[in-house]
Amino acid sequence: MGSKKPKVIFKINLYRDAWNYYCAANSNPKWGYDFSKIIKPEIVKKVRRKKWEKTRNYLYKMLRKGYSIDKKKMNSNLKSIKSSWKKVEEKYFQKLEKITKKKIYTNKFHCYITTIGRCPYNQKENWFMVNIFSNDASTTIAHELMHLQFYHYFEKEIRKTLNEKQFQDLKEALTILLNMEFKGILKEKDKGYPGHKKLRNFIEKEWKKRKDFDVLIEKYINYRDILRHPKGCGFLLRSRHSKTQTVP
């Protein structure tokens, strides 16, 4: 992991939280889950299908009020989230390196607090969000960090073979590995999305046969039967830095 050990830095950022509310309210059902349902209907009504510039002040004001009311609880929860994660942080990164067979690509990740159950990430800027009222924040953190590691090392090569949906399905379903290889590190199981149940079962089955990340991805590609060329069975993954999609 280099000279400096990777770490997660936690921050409260009202503006990022407001943007998360906006994205959730304007989202459509995905992978069997509808994020707009986790927000109060009156909030969705105020911001859905409206421009961010027209709704952000409403969201800022709403969150400032909420942060003020819940200040004590939020500070307490944040302290607890930090403490719980720091206990497992080093072991988690060591295990993630072992599984992906890649060094953790940066020594600093930023975790921003959100007050809803939608936890987006930005692979270009190495940040993600976690719900401050979650009972299993460490599992969420582990889930998002796995996404970032996957994007950094594998995205560019894999996208040559998979379309957008197939890539996203794989990225999400791979987190089933958290339940298999991180049992002594994470207390709560990674639940995944309803729409990925069958794929998660496939990954679990194949991982038990052979614990090799590159081979697992190749098996997924063959399983999806979407090879562009017959030589796809010789698919090799190379370490490359991803400079693509940014998730709000």
If one counts every other C-beta atom within 10 angstroms of the C-beta of residue 123, the result is 21
CA distance 77 to 71: 10
Sign of the dihedral through C-alpha 226, 232, 237, 240: negative
Local confidence band at 96 (pLDDT 50, 70, 90 cut-offs): very high
Tokens of 207: 């991982």
If one counts every other C-beta atom within 10 angstroms of the C-beta of residue 212, the result is 14
List the domain boundaries for the chain.
Answer: 7-234
Q: What's the chain's average pLDDT?
A: 89
- Per-residue pLDDT reduced to its tens digit, 167-188: 999 999 999 999 999 999 999 9
Local confidence band at 225 (pLDDT 50, 70, 90 cut-offs): low
Q: If DSSP codes are grouped into helix, strand and coil, which group holds residue 103?
A: coil
Which of 119, 166, 184 lies closest to 146 in space, CA to CA? 119
What are residue 12's phi and psi, to 5 degrees? -100, 125
pLDDT at 234 (0 to 100): 32
- Say if residues 144 and 130 touch (Cβ distance below 8 Å): yes
Q: Higher confidence at residue 32 or residue 118? A: 118
CA distance 90 to 205: 28
* Helical residues (DSSP H) of the chain, grouped into ranges: 14-25, 41-47, 52-69, 71-100, 137-158, 164-173, 177-181, 197-209, 213-224
